[in-house]
Amino acid sequence: MTTHVKTIIKGNLATTVKTGGCGQCQTSCQSACKTSCTVGNQVCEK
């Protein structure tokens, strides 16, 4: 039982180097001027 650190979200980003990259996700717009999607807040479609 931890007392000083409470984990809220367990990510596994590093492992997606091997599993990701299928490219099926929708396009993102980094300027967000079109609000189509920005990388950081995109959802993986896999």
Partner 1 sequence: MLNISNYNIKKNVHIYRQGDLNIAYDVNSGSLHVIDEYTYSLIEDMIRLQDENNNLLDEEKLLFEAGKNIETAVKREILLELEQLQNQNLLFSQEVEEKEPHYPNQPLIKAICLHVSHDCNLRCQYCFAGTGSFKGKRELMTSETGKRAIDFLFKHNGNRQSCEVDFFGGEPLLNMPVIKELINYGKTVAQQAGKKIKFTLTTNAVLLDKITAEYLDNEGVSVVLSLDGRKEVNDRMRSFPNGKGSYDIIMPHILHFSQLRPGSSPYAVGQYYYVRGTYTRYNTDFYKDVLHMADLGIKRISVEPVIASPNDDYAFREEDIDKIKQSYDILGEKVLEYKLKGRGFSFFHFNAGLDEGPCLPKRLSGCGAGHEYVAISPDGSIYPCHQFVGQEDYKLGTVYQDNPLKEELIKKFRSAHVYNKNDCRMCWARYSCSGGCHAANVAYSGELTKVYPLGCELQKKRLEVAYYLKIKEAQLKETV
The binding site for partner 1 (CB under 8 A) comprises: 2-14, 16-17, 19-44, 46
Q: Burial, 25: exposed, middle or buried (Cβ in 10 Å; 0-12, 13-18, 19+)?
A: middle
CB of 41 to partner 1, least distance (A): 4
Q: How far is the CB of 18 from partner 1 (least distance, A)?
A: 9
DSSP 24-45: -SPP--TT-SS-S--GGG----
CB of 9: closest distance to partner 1 in angstroms? 4
